[in-house]
Homo-oligomer: A and B are copies of this chain.
């Protein structure tokens, strides 16, 4: 399996056309480290390389993640790394690593393990929609299987030991990707972000820590991993997400009742610009595609295909775009290639005008 093979399939995090409503996807990650081995930040390249060589055969043959593929960060180019990042298979930080770091991932992209990012291992499982319980079962199984082969750095008092103290304990981060255009349009998102932050959860943008919320996508995740059982963390997060989903539903319903023209205008303009622009930045594309997603959810765009929108969310990203063009492109040229790709895909998808009411 190569990165080029990945490009032929839809990404796991977008659920590939499934109607997941407000919750795009659920994700869990566990930070795990090997006993008696220096953390990656201390280890130096040679030790990291040894750890990667030790772990790769183990992680590549997990029954809980079959079939899988492994990629060494020292052997793939930057563009391929960016593709893996854009598919949410690994972090931006891992994309900056070289020799000694690696990625093992399920061919269907639902599971992945970063080796020697901040910790020796970062296990991840993603599922479409709100499904943290099954996600937990899957990552717990993977975690248990790995532990049959290696010894984890573990303290009976603190729990799993990690490079950053903020992850000590369960080493778990549970996060849910929400698409909340209703709350954004109704100008109700800020109090919710503030409220969520107050109860110990973090709100982040599409690409995690330190990123801006584009495309009306927000990630909500736990901050605390110490002194709380995984099931409790997951139950709390699920509860909060369900409340936000309810708020989003209400905001949409209220606007459909009182401001239908405004919603139709928002969706119509998003479609009109995507279908006819010749220059589109990555951020604008995400924002406008959010408008199409909302239009589909609300039944305003009756003929629009959800799968096409999800595909566009993925393939309009900078690295995906350059892979599909077969060459490196400057930002300016990417914006033109992106607009051209979007025009083409929308035209293909529709055969005629969308059913704007």
Contacts of A278 in B (CB 8 A): 261-262, 264-265, 268, 356
The CA of A278 and the CA of B91, in the complex, are separated in Å by: 40
**Count of this chain's copies in the oligomeric assembly:** 2
Query: Contacting chain B: which of A96-104, A163-171, A269-277?
Result: A269-277
Please give me the residue from chain B that is nearest to A354 by CB atom. Answer: B276
Please give me the residue from chain B that is nearest to A335 by CB atom. Answer: B261
The proximity string for A residues 274-306 relative to B, scoring 1 for CB distances below 8 Å and 0 otherwise, is 111111000000000000000000000000000
Contacts of A343 in B (CB 8 A): 356
Answer whether residue A194 sits at the interface, using C-beta atoms and an 8 A cutoff.
Answer: no
Count of residues in A whose CB is under 8 Å from the partner chain: 21
Contacts of A273 in B (CB 8 A): 269, 272-273
The CA of A275 and the CA of B274, in the complex, are separated in Å by: 12
Minimum CB–CB distance from A344 to chain B (whole Å) comes to 11
The CA of A356 and the CA of B277, in the complex, are separated in Å by: 9
The CA of A277 and the CA of B275, in the complex, are separated in Å by: 13
Answer whether residue A347 sits at the interface, using C-beta atoms and an 8 A cutoff.
Answer: yes
The proximity string for A residues 328-357 relative to B, scoring 1 for CB distances below 8 Å and 0 otherwise, is 000000001001000100010000010010
Minimum CB–CB distance from A224 to chain B (whole Å) comes to 45
Check A347 against B339 for contact (C-beta < 8 Å). no
The proximity string for A residues 237-272 relative to B, scoring 1 for CB distances below 8 Å and 0 otherwise, is 000000000000000000000000110110011011
Known: A261-B336, A265-B279. 12 other contacts (CB 8 A): A261-B278, A261-B279, A262-B278, A269-B272, A269-B276, A269-B277, A272-B272, A272-B273, A272-B275, A272-B276, A275-B276, A347-B353
What are the 8 tightest A-B residue pairs by CB atom distance, in nearest-first order?
A272-B272, A272-B276, A268-B276, A265-B278, A264-B278, A265-B279, A261-B278, A272-B273
